[in-house]
Amino acid sequence: MIRLMLSLLLLGLSVPAVAESRPHIVLVMADDHGYGDTGFTGHPFVKTPHLDAMAKAGVVFNRFYSSAPVCSPTRASVMTGRHSFRVNVPNHGHYLRPHETTIAEALKGAGYVTGHFGKWHIGSVQPNSPTSPGGAGFDEWLSGLNFFDNNPYLSRNGVYKQHLGPGSVISMDATIEFLEKHAKGDKPIFAVTWFPSPHDPQAELPQNLPHAATLYNNENTKKPGYFREITLLDQQIGKLRRSLRQLGIAKNTLLFYCSDNGGLVAESSGGRAKKGSIYEGGLRVPAVMEWPARYQSATIDTPAFTSDLYPTLIALTQAKVAHQPILDGIDLLPLLSGKQTKRPPMGFWFGHTAGQSTWNDRIIKALLEAKQAGQPNPFPNRVLKNVNKFPTFGEDALRGHAAWNDWPWKLHRIEKNRKVTFELYHLVNDPMEKKDLSQVEPQRVAKMKKALEAWQRSVLSSWSGKDYRK
């Protein structure tokens, strides 16, 4: 439920009604930033003053989830509002089908100028590829295939180049350049910044701090580099918020921050396990939103997840989608206005299909060198991959680990070697998912099992291409 009432600000003539209904939108997402690894979520030593300030001024989603416990599937959910299996992204490295209408395409159709900066990981970054950021509706982009670190090779609108500096700084600087270019234009701005950090190898360092290279080395952690990169990301958030103010657009900009999956440190993951698991620690992530023209400081405890971003922005901007297939996310505006305190169940599913390796610098460097030498494309198979193939499913179609979050209850369906087991947890009383109640709540298990498996069959129907058939 909403713990602190959200307030609608009456701004008179300072922000015209039309402008307020069509804000600038900036979506920022980290790579592997765990729920408990910020100051505002209670971490004992990591320094995140800018995220903390954003949380103090804005709306904190206290129980926000990534739609998947790894990168590419969650990114697909942000782009489409649909579970990643539906759109051909069952694991890392798979490509989002061009058949889908993305949030960038929808907002571009509604009059927004669109840009993507940072990690892509749901398609190609080759020129004219329908799976590139440009093919997905972004007017301008500076993007990498997967995570990258210092001095990365990136693609700017299909042109390859090595960029010097920390990858997260490069991503944010490109975002700010885009904002500066369009802040005084006649179109509202939609910018997506997907940081490549704090994913391994964690070699980026915070800026302008004494002893940055050894920061957190004396803390009780085996991953000081992970926390150093979180502080670097926080610095970039501070730079972004400062730029929005300097450009005079902060008041009517919706700025949203979250992570693509749980973190790399189980002790502060906010639940059981960490990245790669659909127990709470692999899915629960920090999430905070600022939009000064509309909302004041608040905390929301009702669950939400990354699939909700697409339908929320569609509703907010009144964008039109001609043929909208089934969504897994919901419009969060009623929740934000206080008109709604409960949501429909959320489905999760992982472990059905293996991931596909994608080495950003290795691939883009080879593409650049081939182009410079006048040689053929060394990776023609990476333009589309299998986006035009539609799988069929046999008896083991529901394999892997799935979960049904019908708050506060969460049912796990775990298939291993064709043996299926169920676990049931009450997340308010047992947030660490330690006490399995499946044997003492058989009727609840049966009801939730029926709903979960019906949802899984719906997901497989989409994955097989039925959503695209007339």
Report, in angstroms and rounded to the nearest whole number, the Rg of the chain calculated over CA atoms. Answer: 21
DSSP string, 270-296: SSSS-TT-SSHHHHEE--EEE-TTT--
**pLDDT value at residue 97:** 98
DSSP state of 266: G
Topology (CATH) of 17-345: Alkaline Phosphatase, subunit A (3.40.720)
CA atoms within 13 A of residue 391's CA, in its CB half-sphere: 17
Taken in order 36, 37, 39, 40, the sign of the CA dihedral is negative
**pLDDT value at residue 69:** 98
Strand 304-305 versus strand 113-119 pairing type: unpaired
Distance CA 268, CA 226 (A): 13
Give the residue ranges of DSSP H helices in 183-258.
Answer: 224-246
**pLDDT value at residue 416:** 87
Give the residue ranges of DSSP H helices in 3-114.
Answer: 17-21, 49-57, 71-80, 103-109
**pLDDT value at residue 420:** 97
Q: Which residues pair with 413 in a beta bridge?
A: 402, 422
Distance CA 118, CA 96 (A): 17
Give the CA angle between residues 258, 259, 265 to the nearest 5°: 130
Strand 284-285 versus strand 64-65 pairing type: antiparallel
> Amino acid identity of 331?
D
Distance CA 9, CA 169 (A): 33
Token pair of 160 as six digits: 């390859």
**pLDDT value at residue 396:** 78
Residues 6 or more apart whose Cβ sits within 8 Å of residue 153: 144, 160, 161, 162, 163, 360, 361, 364, 365, 368
**pLDDT value at residue 469:** 74
**pLDDT value at residue 2:** 42
Q: Which of 265, 212, 211, 257 is nearest to 236 (CA)?
A: 257
**pLDDT value at residue 20:** 55
User: What phi and psi values does residue 9 have, to the nearest 5 degrees?
Assistant: -85, 135
Please identify every stretch of the chain with a pLDDT value under 70, giving residue numbers as ranges: 1-21, 470
Topology (CATH) of 393-468: Arylsulfatase, C-terminal domain (3.30.1120)
Domain ranges of the chain: 17-345, 393-468
Q: What is the pLDDT of residues 39-56, one digit of tens each?
A: 999 999 999 999 999 999
Distance CA 143, CA 156 (A): 6
pTM of structure:
0.95
Token pair of 142 as six digits: 């500076």
Element (H, E) at 439: none
Measured from the Cβ of residue 420, the count of other Cβ atoms closer than 10 Å reads 12
Residues 6 or more apart whose Cβ sits within 8 Å of residue 328: 67, 77, 81, 82, 83, 86, 307, 346, 347
Q: What is the pLDDT of residues 258-282, one digit of tens each?
A: 999 999 999 898 999 999 999 999 9
Residues 6 or more apart whose Cβ sits within 8 Å of residue 440: none
Distance CA 105, CA 79 (A): 9
